[in-house]
């Protein structure tokens, strides 16, 4: 009789473990479902390709004495949540000793400062979600905690961008191609952000950048290491930006990157093998000049199409065609590549006048929030039902086990 009783007890324990495991997962879903009560649903209006007879040249006032900068690196934090391995002062010294003029830390949900630099530019990384749909927020005085951790679509991503902009600062879509955090379809509709982190240790998102540009959104490039451990040589000094501001002050640097007066550089061997000297646009002709001979200079336009390639030259020119809504330039030298911001068609007055801001669909927003409430209550009900289904037959099982132990009921017998 004892083995049968033990078997019943073992089954009960396994069932209890299963019930509590499922309940735990449902409980997590239940807690995170509260995030979706505040979501906004937008009219999904596609961005309009650049148009006009004028050309916006972000390098019009570019200074060849440019500022080498990195805005994406992580230091150690409380409970290891920032996933960094060194203290802030160690990371600042690491980059400055390597010739960087500016280095900002971008810890998750925390704004760090460099007390030795009164011109320091604050940055933090926003995002706690499954698909790594993250953002870098530059020059913000406070952290915004709005988030949708379980699933995201165009509406949740647009909602987050809006909230981050409202809290102040410039917004960059961080490593957008990583884990499909931002899709090509997203880039046809998203509005309100300032940069795309095209160059990152974990993903190069130039194709996503071209999708945004081809659909008429003037997103400037950002390049950052996203370094979590400076002791590993392959994680730092790989991606950086050169900013052509007139001076090195905080405001001058911010003004320059807002205008797109900077470029990205990527070199896995850490060497800065070339520099931009100038980029001039006259009469629909682009003339670009580099300090050293580049192995290949490419002119790239809509949908990432390569329109012209010049080999082994320090300068090149390109006549903008009627079907070019933008033209951007890549210059490869040895193992390094310079990525310039695009020359963009516009009306001569306002760069992004075609797109405006995303408009909220009030009716669908209310409907979605009601659906979120229904899902939330459904998860709670499922948890309660799981436990009720388990606890209701417990007394019966106990009664059967006791009867077997007393010898009044044998396995396989049915009560009459």
Torsions phi, psi for 350 (to 5 deg): -130, 125
Instruction: Tell me: pLDDT of 397 over 80.
Output: no
Instruction: Tell me: pLDDT of 128 over 50.
Output: yes
Mean pLDDT estimate for the chain = 90
pTM above 0.85, yes or no: yes
Half-sphere exposure of 203 (CA within 13 A, CB side): 18
Local confidence band at 416 (pLDDT 50, 70, 90 cut-offs): very low
Local confidence band at 63 (pLDDT 50, 70, 90 cut-offs): very high
Instruction: Report the pLDDT averaged over residues 65-87.
Output: 85
Instruction: Tell me: pLDDT of 395 over 60.
Output: no
User: Of the candidates 173, 174, 207, which has an alpha carbon nearest to the alpha carbon of residue 192?
Assistant: 173
- What pairing do the DSSP bridges indicate for beta strands 220-224 and 195-200? parallel
Q: How far apart are CA 175 and CA 197, in angstroms?
A: 6
Instruction: Report the pLDDT averaged over residues 304-324.
Output: 98
Instruction: Tell me: pLDDT of 4 over 70.
Output: no
Residue 170 CA, chain-centre distance (Å), reads 13
């Amino acid at each position: 009789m004892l083995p049968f009783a033990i078997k019943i007890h073992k089954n009960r324990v396994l069932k209890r473990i299963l019930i509590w495991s499922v309940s735990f997962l449902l409980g997590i879903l239940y807690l995170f479902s509260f995030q979706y009560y505040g979501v906004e649903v937008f009219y999904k209006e596609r961005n309009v390709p650049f148009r006009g007879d004028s050309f916006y040249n972000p390098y019009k006032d570019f200074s060849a004495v440019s500022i080498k900068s990195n805005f994406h690196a992580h230091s150690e934090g409380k409970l290891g949540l920032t996933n960094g391995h060194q203290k802030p002062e160690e990371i600042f010294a690491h980059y400055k000793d390597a010739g960087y003029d500016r280095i900002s830390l971008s810890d998750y949900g925390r704004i760090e400062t460099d007390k030795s630099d009164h011109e320091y530019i604050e940055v933090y990384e926003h995002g706690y979600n499954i698909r790594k749909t993250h953002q870098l927020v530059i020059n913000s005085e406070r952290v915004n905690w709005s988030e949708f951790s379980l699933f995201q679509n165009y509406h949740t991503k647009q909602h987050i961008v809006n909230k981050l902009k409202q809290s102040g600062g410039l917004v960059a879509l961080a490593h957008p191609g990583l884990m499909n955090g931002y899709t090509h379809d997203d880039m046809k509709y998203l509005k309100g952000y300032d940069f795309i982190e095209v160059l990152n240790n974990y993903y190069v998102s130039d194709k996503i950048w071209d999708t945004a540009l081809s659909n008429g959104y003037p997103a400037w490039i950002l390049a950052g290491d996203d370094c979590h451990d400076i002791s590993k040589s392959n994680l730092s000094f790989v991606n950086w930006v050169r900013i052509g501001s007139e001076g090195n002050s905080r405001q001058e640097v911010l003004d320059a990157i807002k205008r797109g007066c900077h470029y990205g550089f990527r070199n896995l061997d850490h060497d800065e093998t070339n520099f931009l000297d100038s980029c001039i646009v006259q009469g629909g002709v682009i003339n670009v000049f580099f300090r050293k001979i580049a192995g290949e200079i490419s002119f790239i336009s809509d949908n990432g199409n390569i329109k012209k390639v010049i080999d082994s030259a320090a300068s090149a020119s390109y006549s903008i065609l009627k079907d070019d809504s933008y033209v951007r330039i890549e210059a490869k030298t040895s193992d390094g590549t310079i990525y310039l911001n695009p020359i963009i068609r516009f009306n001569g007055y306002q760069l992004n006048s075609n797109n405006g801001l995303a408009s909220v669909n009030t009716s669908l927003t209310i409907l979605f929030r009601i659906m979120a409430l229904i899902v939330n209550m459904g998860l709670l009900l499922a948890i309660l039902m799981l436990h009720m289904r388990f606890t209701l037959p417990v007394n019966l099982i106990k009664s059967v086990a006791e009867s077997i132990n007393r010898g009044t009921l044998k396995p396989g017998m049915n009560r009459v």
